[in-house]
Amino acid sequence: MKIAIIGGGLSGLLCALMLERRGYSPTIYERLSKLGGVLDSFKRKKVLFDIGFHYSGALEKGQYLYNSMQGLELLEKLKLEKYDGAFDTLYIDDEIFEVPLSSLEFKKQLQARFPKESENIEIFFHKCYEVSEISSKPEQFVKVDSRSLKDVMKDIKDEKLRKVFLHFTIFYATAFYEDASFDFYAKIFINMLDGTRKIEGGGGAIISALKESLSKTTIKKRSEVTKIFQDKNGVNALLCKDEKVAYDAIISTVHPKTTLKMFDDLDKKQRRYQSHIEDLEESPSFFSIFCLIDAQIESNLYFYGDEFISVLPSRIYKGKTVATILAGSYYSEYENLSEDEYKKKKEQECQHHLNRVRKLYDFGEIEVIDSSTPLTKQHYSNGSEGSIYGVLCSAKQKSLSVVMPRTRVKNLYFAGENIIAPGLIGAFLGAEILMNYFEEKK
């Protein structure tokens, strides 16, 4: 069976490795000159910066990601790093909440701080534990949990406590998002509290480990797929650099909206499917500042005021903290600018966020090394509107089951951050669920 994978980011490489383990020899098509997509790291002035990976949950021994990475022999190529103290520090309405690496400890701290809500906190954690197991077993992922976070939090009245819980939507949807899918919330919430780790070398190290592990995959870089063909038996070929190449199955890790535009001949039912996909709401877009901060920052700092802003430390370089400042931004404000206008707007926005962050915390000197706009993310993922995590992981959209690994076009499959969920957890889960459709070859 000839299988093509469109996209050489985290999900494309993962799908290739999992297919190899099942006896297949797939081909990856990557449109850029480098593998890694959004996850990769980059070096400027000899300093290593992270783009799309800072930390992840489910990495404690026995948890989902730890087990999956061990199963793929990736853990021996990577070094997990534990946070010494709180992994996140939240600044909410002049109060500080430190998030410890233990769900039981966090629950205890919250009950001490919000005694009137003690019982509701107990119930909330209990509901989260109930669905916190992450699993790619078919019986798990066909169950649709349509509850939103708002539904489950309805008895919690204290606004500040609600905000503390809502912080965790930032990892897969957007800040303080009450309509987020509760199912994925619980998985992120508990698995972060009990298993957050950094990975030495950041996203670049994950990509290198995946690349090194591949032995039967053909990798084609600078190879943009522009068309996908089908006949009555399903997809049968793709077009890359004017060459039509036959395949029995195609896995696209590229945004479903972008992928479906590659077909010239969708039938009526498939066009209806495309129109549902086109209607899906995206997660918001963002601005990143890659900088060196003259202070030792251990914990990820999240400032929730009128506008959200976060400071995510990666590592220490010559006594300074290598960090990314992340803030909300708008794709539409960059979309149609000339080169000069773009540069000017980018500089202004960078300055605006720096001014804000300096007022919130005494960081000492901040040396800006580089920055990126919503257009940068769009360039790396070829997705939709530079959205931070692609398709928004809302309760409504997840319960519609529109974006699942098996599509309405026969032998076309989806993987990647837009399908089940974003991030390392989402990419692994999506790829593992997808493997249920590819029989193990004897």
Residues contributing to the site for ligand FAD (CB under 6 A):
6-12, 29-32, 37-39, 52-56, 224-225, 253-254, 288, 326, 377, 380-382, 388-389, 416-417, 422-424, 427
Helix (H) or strand (E) holding 11: helix 10-21
Q: Can you tell me the distance from the alpha carbon of 74 to that of 79, in angstroms, rounded to the nearest whole number?
A: 10
Q: Which two tokens stand for residue 419?
A: 């399908």
CB of 393 to ligand FAD, least distance (A): 11
Alpha carbon distance, N-terminus to C-terminus of the chain: 13
CB of 91 to ligand FAD, least distance (A): 19
Comparing CB distances to ligand FAD, the nearer of 161 and 416 is 416
CB of 37 to ligand FAD, least distance (A): 2
Comparing CB distances to ligand FAD, the nearer of 204 and 354 is 204
- 285-307 CB burial, b ≥16 within 10 A, e <16: bbbbbbbbbebebebbbbbbeee
DSSP alpha helix (H) spans, 26-158: 64-71, 103-113, 118-130, 138-141, 149-152
Q: Which two tokens stand for residue 85?
A: 């103290």
CB of 55 to ligand FAD, least distance (A): 5
Comparing CB distances to ligand FAD, the nearer of 197 and 320 is 197
Comparing CB distances to ligand FAD, the nearer of 111 and 223 is 223
Quick check: 29 and 2 in contact, CB under 8 A?
Answer: no
The single-letter code of the amino acid at 58 is: A
CB of 415 to ligand FAD, least distance (A): 7
Comparing CB distances to ligand FAD, the nearer of 11 and 103 is 11
Q: Helix axis angle, 423-435 relative to 182-193, nearest 10°?
A: 120
Quick check: 286 and 308 in contact, CB under 8 A?
Answer: no
CB of 130 to ligand FAD, least distance (A): 23
Distance of CA 155 to the CA centre of its chain: 30
Handedness of CA 185, 190, 191, 195 (dihedral sign): positive
CB of 56 to ligand FAD, least distance (A): 4
Would you report the helix, strand and coil content of the chain in percent, each value rounded to 5?
40, 25, 40
Comparing CB distances to ligand FAD, the nearer of 6 and 110 is 6
Comparing CB distances to ligand FAD, the nearer of 152 and 423 is 423
Comparing CB distances to ligand FAD, the nearer of 7 and 128 is 7
Quick check: 290 and 368 in contact, CB under 8 A?
Answer: yes
DSSP string, 155-185: T---HHHHHHHHGGGGGTS-TT-TTBBHHHH
For 63, residues 6+ apart whose C-beta sits below 8 A from its C-beta are: 57, 134, 191, 194, 195
Burial of 440 (0-12, 13-18, 19+ CB in 10 A): exposed
CB of 12 to ligand FAD, least distance (A): 6
CB of 262 to ligand FAD, least distance (A): 7
Comparing CB distances to ligand FAD, the nearer of 29 and 106 is 29
CB of 296 to ligand FAD, least distance (A): 20
Rg value, the chain, Cα: 22
Comparing CB distances to ligand FAD, the nearer of 26 and 422 is 422
